[in-house]
A and B are shown apart, each in its own frame.
Chain A
Amino acid sequence: MTAHLKQNKLDKRNVLDGMQQGIIGKPISRSEGLLKVTGKATYAAEYHLENCLEGVIVTAPFAKGRVTVIDESSVMEMPGVITVISDERMIARAAQGTAGAAPLQKACDVDYWGQPIALVVAESFEEARNAAKHLHIEFEVEDAIFDASEVEVEPQDGATQQGDLAQAMAEAEHSVDISYTTEGHASAAMEPHAAIADWDGETLTVRASLQMLNYNIGELADSMDLDESKVRLISRYVGGGFGSKLGISQEVVAASIAAMQLGRPVRVVMSRQQVFQTIMRRSETTQRLRLAADANGRLTGFGHEALVSNLPGEGFAEPVTQSSEFLYAGENRLLKIDIARIHRMTAGSVRAPGEAVGMPALEAALDELAEKAGIDPVELRLRNIPEEHPATGTPFSSHKLAECLQQGAKAFGWDSGPRKPRNRREGEWWIGTGVASAARVHIVSQARARVTLQADGTALVETDMTDIGTGTYTILGQIAGEMLGLAQEQVKVELGDTRHPRGSGSGGSWGAASVGSAVFVACEAIRAKIASQLGISADMELTLKDSTVSWDEGKKSLSDIIDGKDIAREGHYEPGDITEDYAASGYGAFFVEVAVNRWTGETRMRRMTGAFGFGRVLNEKTARSQCLGGMVWCIGSALTESLLFDPRDGHLVNCDLAEYHVPVNRDIPDLDVIMVEERDPAASPIQAKGIGELGMCGGAGAIANAIYNACGARMHDFPMTPDRVLAAMPDE
């Protein structure tokens, strides 16, 4: 039986707060944590299937053109080699998030350096890899452009133009007009992309590392020209995705073709270099920020224009201005995104697409405006929080930006006195502080989950939702336990299998609120069933706690009520009109202190405080971890992360973790997270909003502002590496 809820209205009941079990929100450790740290959680490539063959992907050593010959005979005599696959169904690019259908196929038409073109299958991995290096291919190379500044750009739909920004700039008391650049980023998840495909003549089962099985099943079925009912995907544990596993990637289809052709299971694991070179990048950006303000610092004009890039034919454009649409006031507005078609690998979602790069630029520009206007940067932000969506007039749902700025400032010890760069030096280090706001739009998607109250008095939650390391297993258990009066250990959660009801997938920070709501809806239906079984009216208060049901007139153990028969309900949650009627977003504020070396321009973080409001906190520990992870990403994108492309052939040169520099332990100072509690009735029936990405939306701007405050270098180009800081640092 399916219980369905389409949310058209605010849900102010705060049902979860009325429950008695007392586990919701608690800092419960991840239920699968022990399995992971003891090596017992099986990741995609780790299944042992009998007779399994190994496939290694061969990639194109050129950026644009056509593969004319793949000479299988060049490797067929090599030890262990079984076959070479270069099938028309092989996908040329990874699918974008939520595609649900096959991405571009026909891999022999090459559009970027490193595009997979063939799969060599052998008995052992070593044999396959060696043969892959020796496969003889011939190709015709065409000219291609790799730099967004060299092509004609296409404007994206959905630009905002309101009033007259140019005039507002001309009449402004204070204004800034600044260009920023950000470099490409990689998701750099720890687990590489991997798949084991197995065909039993009926069903294609693929164990893979994926974020959104509910869409991935359609992508794979369509690529293979199979009915969805003949495809099963399993992704029980995923070693990080950060957007790179939203859609299926090349190894999934290649392994599937090989397994079906050979009648044996085939494993394909991408090398670290292949993951970097072929999957997805965050586009580099060029941004122009124009801010016009009156004498009091109130914004009268707001311009945010961006140039991003992608391959021809891709629908995705880094949504740089996403939160700029509503974060600050300003009646004259211009927000737009242009896209340049170039031949670097596919650009797609990397954690916090849009805000991750748009917010730092905006927040850095705001700092320059604050300086010009002589207003404390925290105060300037407070003065510019709009009453309603500044372009559409839509009311906001819960909105905690002001509280985050205030509470963060207090915890950090923000000095709101006059700010002058080079005010503080310790030895050879200049010390400075900076602030930035955080915002990340809240998105929910439809989701299904089945909850079964089992005869033995425990509960089972099933959905094809994935847990990409964020704590989904744990929070779904908490929601069900809270609703059904069970301890955390009495709820078993099974995820990552398309045999289960379709969840929402993990991406866009929407997983917890979406699939959590589906579990909630199923549990409400189970509670109603219990009430009817007890013969009491549905609106009578029912208390479920510690496996006991009590109501006005009585008390009964759950197992007595169940009486040997499972109660199973599928919850189907769908966002309705509410998403149109309210503008929902997570908000926050970052405060940072940095040290900049006066000789070398090296920047080291000293401390960082993040205050965030994102609706109900479902689990204090996992939520905090998400915030911490986001803040670490802020530091990486601020100081080191940058994809470097060869200007001549467009290949990605820094394609491993030694040369693509994510932060290491020593780069991360004490991080302080403040969670500003709230209930957002528009966000979801569990009043929760997304948190997976909010923590990295703007923090790099706070670091830029702190670098300026420390040493006087105004940074307009991210990442702010020592060479760039030195170039911008005024002489002492």
Chain B
Amino acid sequence: MKPFHYQRADRLEHVAQLISASGAMAIAGGTNLIDLMKLQVETPDTIIDVNRLPLDQIAEEGDGLRIGALATNTATAGHGKVRSDYPILAKAILAGATQQLRNKATTAGNLCQRTRCYYFTNIDQPCNKRDPGSGCGAITGIARLHAILGTSDQCIATYPGDMAVAMAALDAKVEIKDRAGNTRSIAVRDFHRLPNDAPEKDNILEPGDIITGVILPAPVPGKQLYRKVRERSSYAFALCSVAAIIDMDEGKITRADLAFGGIAHKPWFDARLGELLVGETPSLSLFDKAADLLLEDAHGFGENDFKIPLTRRALAATLCEATGVDA
């Protein structure tokens, strides 16, 4: 671990200034950052402790719900309004990590958690994300956990989290304060990036930006499901996951908001799926068509080829469960 300075941000107005310093990083629950610092993957000169900022509230805002950047995953998943109106979010959070980790993990930290690529976390291996230009260890290495959609020849890592996948299905917005003190918001669906030729950038945050919260839109009708496929039943990242909000009327699908985890560098949202499904009578063959569309450009890297059929099946299973199709 590289020696570092510790500073506490007591007021929101100060954060921007502190965090803008070169080599400074925010620390919230620390469950991701500290692990990576111990491995010398992250080497901040200064960590800015944001935990005293008044950003842990979960409160109604307009028709929707505002989840503070520092609300813990446990608090969010257990919040009455989340459980009643956004059950998909509670389910996704509870499918992640462990109770102990969720007690510390925060909304912002979870959004910004870094990939679990084996080569990223081993500083004796090449990795374009950690060390731009050093090469990608995973592409011709062990790529079991890796992406099948939106990869580049620079990086095939996934965004590993669950919470943000549900937020993408819900079309939530991330609220960001920049170094000048201005607030902007961006859809969760657009918050994470594809690796392209700059895999070192996971998301659209600029230096000095701080996440202040996530805004959930007004609740929508329909079934809300989160299916996470993994080899052990807890405390494991998704091999693939499906977040689905599906509503039906008179035997036809009227809403189909779908997002996928564990298969791309970001929670994967493909607007074409909703367009294809809405207005149709659910059936296995329809779900197959949806999978064809979703996986049109999918390709594996040997070790993770299985994710293509697995995602197809996980999608069909979720849609069957949501629509009552008896397969």
Contact = CB atoms under 8 A, between A and B. Distances in A.
A651 B40 contact: no
B142 interface: yes
Contacts of B313: 599-600, 726
Interface stretch (B47-55, B57-65, B78-86, B116-124): B116-124
A726 B232 contact: no
Contacts of B124: 61, 651
Contacts of B6: none
Interface string A636-669: 0001100011111001011100110101111100
Contacts of B317: 428, 597, 599-600
B100 interface: no
Contacts of B233: 602, 604, 664, 666-667
B310 A600 contact: yes
B310 A723 contact: yes
B141 A646 contact: yes
Contact of A651 (B2, B125, B229): B125
Interface in A605-648: 639-640, 644-648
Interface in B286-327: 306, 309-310, 313-314, 316-317, 321
A661 B232 contact: yes
Interface string B15-58: 00000000000000000000000011000000000000000000
A273 B118 CA distance: 12
Given A130-B1, A600-B313, A661-B232, A654 B118 contact: yes
Contacts of B306: 723, 726-727
Interface string A710-732: 00000000010111001100000
B249 interface: no
Nearest to A646: B141
Interface in A508-538: none
A601 B232 CA distance: 12
Contacts of B140: 648
A666 B95 CA distance: 12
Interface string B124-160: 1100000000000100111010000000000000000
Contact of A661 (B118, B122, B229, B231): B231
Contacts of B40: 133
A664 B144 CA distance: 21
Contacts of A722: 229-231, 239, 310
A719 B306 CA distance: 15
B243 to A, nearest CB: 16
Nearest to B141: A646
A371 B327 CA distance: 29
A78 to B, nearest CB: 10
Interface residues of B, number: 35
A599 B314 contact: yes
Contacts of B119: 653
B234 A726 contact: no
Given A428-B317, A654-B118, A664-B233, A126 B3 contact: yes
A653 B234 contact: no
A639 B236 CA distance: 13
Contacts of B230: 602, 722
A547 B87 CA distance: 65
B2 A644 contact: no
Contacts of B3: 79, 126, 130
A129 interface: yes
B314 A659 contact: no
Given A61-B124, A659-B116, A664-B234, A726 B141 contact: no
A604 B317 CA distance: 17
Contacts of A273: 39
B234 A126 contact: no
B228 to A, nearest CB: 10
B254 to A, nearest CB: 24
A600 B3 CA distance: 45
Nearest to A133: B40
B231 A653 contact: no
Contacts of A428: 317, 321
User: Which among A273, A653, A658 has the greatest number of chain B C-beta atoms within 10 A?
Assistant: A653
B305 to A, nearest CB: 9
Contacts of B235: 658, 664
A653 B122 contact: yes
Nearest to A61: B124
Contacts of B234: 664-667
Contact of B310 (A129, A133, A726): A726
Nearest to B137: A646
Contacts of B144: 644
A131 to B, nearest CB: 11
Contacts of A604: 233
Given A599-B317, A640-B231, A659-B116, A653 B142 contact: yes
A599 B316 contact: yes
User: Which among A428, A597, A639, A722 has the greatest number of chain B C-beta atoms within 10 A?
Assistant: A722
User: Which among B123, B232, B321 has the greatest number of chain A C-beta atoms within 10 A?
Assistant: B232
A428 B230 CA distance: 16
A639 B231 contact: yes
B116 A602 contact: no
B314 A600 contact: yes
A667 B118 contact: no
Contacts of A667: 232-234
A74 to B, nearest CB: 15
B232 A659 contact: no
Contacts of B118: 644, 653-654, 659
Nearest to A605: B233
A597 B317 CA distance: 10
A223 B40 CA distance: 32
Contacts of B310: 600-601, 722-723, 726
A511 B165 CA distance: 51
A67 to B, nearest CB: 14
A428 B324 CA distance: 12
B49 to A, nearest CB: 18
Nearest to B239: A722
B308 to A, nearest CB: 11
Nearest to A658: B116
User: Which among A130, A428, A602, A665 has the greatest number of chain B C-beta atoms within 10 A?
Assistant: A602
B234 to A, nearest CB: 4
A665 B236 CA distance: 12
Contacts of A79: 3
A661 B231 CA distance: 9
Contacts of A664: 98, 232-235
Contacts of A130: 1-3
Given A129-B1, A644-B144, A654-B118, A726 B309 contact: yes
Interface in B1-17: 1-3
A655 B137 CA distance: 16
Nearest to B119: A653
A655 B230 CA distance: 19
Contact of A639 (B123, B232, B239, B309): B232
A126 B1 contact: yes
A394 B144 CA distance: 48
User: Which among B39, B118, B123, B234 has the greatest number of chain A C-beta atoms within 10 A?
Assistant: B118
B141 A653 contact: yes
Nearest to B118: A653
Contact of A648 (B39, B141, B231, B316): B141
8 contacts: A79-B3, A428-B317, A600-B313, A602-B233, A653-B119, A664-B235, A666-B234, A667-B233
A-B pairs, top 4 by smallest CB distance, nearest first, are A723-B306, A599-B317, A61-B124, A653-B118
Given A661-B231, A661-B236, 14 more contacts: A79-B3, A129-B1, A130-B1, A599-B316, A600-B310, A648-B140, A651-B124, A655-B122, A658-B235, A659-B118, A664-B233, A664-B235, A666-B232, A721-B231
Interface of B: 1-3, 39-40, 98, 116, 118-119, 122-125, 137, 140-142, 144, 229-236, 239, 306, 309-310, 313-314, 316-317, 321
